């Protein structure tokens, strides 16, 4: 049985950032990720042309985001500082030009002067996935295990034992002083804890909506940014759908793209095929931006509600939002042994990328306090 001081369940932003903090402090750790990849809710796909050059460094790719996209450096100094430290180039969200509004599919869209958001929304030029890639690059490879699904966490023989199943089907157990839950609260609530967590805490986690869980995103990549030539920003709103909100996803000198959020509820969009949804999104872009939108060079679609490591059946029945649950037990056997550190547990930025750093920092502080108290007893 492998023993470390901290086991981290989840290799998204919060899990990998927590691992970086622990490594700087000289604290031993292990990150377990159920998916076959790290990154959590950050996915950035290369364009078809760039994907053909697999021998090139990933940092040369210009990628389009299918997950979390924006940061606001003016409001999120911790995240802005980290991205600067990691050498991540930020670009402003394009808002230059007019925006479109579509009231119904049979009506021509209306055109309106655009407006600049304040503070400015920023994106990573190489795709937001670069954030978790560079955090992971700082860690020894053996400390991050993907394809390891955690199903049970128990206190046994004076330590916390974490049981995981590898993709091969092999059952593994890891022992630690403390556990960080770097996954959405509602998913953390599906893990079996022995002894059980305090009922009120478990119930609170199970009722907390996961940020992004109900959503789906479509991205279309083009050879030319034809909308800019027409004086449009690429931003649009629609009452017709399937997309309700659209934006420019381009990177100057790299890729020309539009993306939109699907407004159809998950269970309704599951009544048709992904191919049909993509076709409907493409047709909507044609209605809005003209015939040039009919021939993208690449299309991507990500339904987060269908991702078992993001969403649960409960997420489709409750309202996702910024309700912040308690992150850790304050009484009983689990006190001082575990803490939730995913973005939903952040009191400052729940649901945002900055919230993942905030919650992870709080979790590391809690561990250090618990560790200090245990060693002085």
The per-residue pLDDT for range 166-215, each reduced to its tens digit, is: 999 999 999 999 999 999 999 999 999 999 999 999 999 999 999 989 99
Given a contact cutoff of 8 angstroms between Cβ atoms, the answer to whether 362 and 78 are in contact is no
Given a contact cutoff of 8 angstroms between Cβ atoms, the answer to whether 237 and 214 are in contact is no
pLDDT of residue 59 exceeding 70, the answer is no
Under the banding of pLDDT at 50, 70 and 90, the label for residue 58 is very low
**pLDDT at res. 374:** 66
pLDDT of residue 55 exceeding 50, the answer is no
Cα(277)–Cα(263) distance, rounded to whole angstroms? 11
pLDDT of residue 25 exceeding 70, the answer is yes
Mean pLDDT computed over 270-288:
97
State the pairing for strand pair 122-124/110-112. Answer: unpaired
Mean pLDDT computed over 6-13:
98
Given a contact cutoff of 8 angstroms between Cβ atoms, the answer to whether 371 and 5 are in contact is yes
**pLDDT at res. 46:** 67
pLDDT of residue 135 exceeding 60, the answer is yes
Mean pLDDT computed over 143-157:
96
**pLDDT at res. 314:** 85
Residue 93 in tokens: 């969200």
pLDDT of residue 232 exceeding 70, the answer is yes
**pLDDT at res. 241:** 92
Topology (CATH) of 43-125+214-305: Polyamine Oxidase; Chain A, domain 2 (3.90.660)
**pLDDT at res. 56:** 47
Give SS3 for 269: helix
CATH, domain 1-42+128-210+310-377, list 3.30.530.20, 3.40.50.1370, 3.50.50.60, 3.40.640.10: 3.50.50.60
pLDDT of residue 61 exceeding 90, the answer is no
**pLDDT at res. 315:** 86
Mean pLDDT computed over 96-104:
96
Mean pLDDT is lowest, of 31-35, 48-52, 225-229, 282-286, for 48-52
Cα(172)–Cα(163) distance, rounded to whole angstroms? 6
Task: Annotate 161-209 with DSSP letters as a single string.
Answer: EEEEEETTS-EEEEEESEEEE-S-HHHHTTSEEESPPPHHHHHHHHTPP
Residue ranges covered by each domain of the chain: 1-42+128-210+310-377, 43-125+214-305
- The pTM of the full predicted model, rounded to 2 decimals, is 0.93
């Amino acid at each position: 049985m492998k023993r470390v001081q901290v086991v981290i369940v989840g290799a998204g932003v919060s899990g990998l950032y927590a691992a970086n903090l622990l490594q700087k402090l000289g604290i031993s750790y292990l990150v377990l990720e159920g998916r076959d990849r790290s990154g959590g809710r950050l996915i950035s796909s290369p364009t078809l042309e760039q994907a053909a050059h697999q021998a090139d460094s990933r940092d040369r790719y210009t990628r389009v985001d299918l997950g979390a996209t924006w940061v606001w450096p003016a409001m999120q100094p911790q995240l802005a500082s980290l991205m600067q430290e990691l050498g991540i180039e930020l670009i402003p969200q394009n808002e230059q030009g007019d925006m479109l509004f579509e009231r119904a599919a049979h009506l021509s869209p209306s055109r309106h002067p655009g407006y600049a958001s304040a503070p400015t929304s920023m994106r990573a030029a190489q795709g937001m996935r670069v954030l978790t890639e560079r955090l992971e690059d700082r860690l020894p490879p053996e400390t991050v295990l993907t394809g390891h699904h955690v199903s049970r966490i128990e206190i046994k023989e004076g330590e916390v034992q974490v049981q995981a199943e590898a993709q091969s089907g092999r059952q593994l157990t890891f022992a630690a002083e403390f556990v960080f839950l770097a996954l959405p609260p509602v998913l953390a609530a599906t893990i079996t804890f022995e002894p059980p967590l305090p009922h009120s805490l478990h119930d609170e986690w199970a009722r907390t909506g996961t940020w992004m869980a109900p959503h789906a995103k479509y991205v279309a990549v083009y050879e030319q940014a034809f909308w800019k030539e027409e004086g449009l920003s690429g931003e649009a709103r629609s009452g017709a759908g399937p997309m309700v909100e659209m934006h420019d996803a381009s990177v100057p000198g790299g890729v020309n793209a539009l993306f939109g959020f699907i407004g159809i509820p998950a269970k309704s969009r599951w009544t048709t095929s992904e191919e049909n949804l993509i076709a409907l999104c493409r047709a909507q872009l044609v209605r809005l931006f003209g015939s040039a939108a009919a021939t993208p060079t690449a299309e991507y679609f990500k339904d987060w509600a269908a991702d078992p490591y993001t969403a649960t059946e409960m997420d489709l029945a409750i309202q996702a939002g910024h309700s912040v649950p308690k992150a850790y037990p304050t009484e009983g056997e689990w006190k001082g042994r575990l803490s939730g550190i995913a973005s939903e547990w952040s009191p400052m930025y729940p649901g945002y990328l900055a919230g993942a750093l905030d919650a992870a920092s709080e979790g590391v502080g809690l561990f250090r306090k618990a560790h200090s108290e245990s060693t002085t007893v």
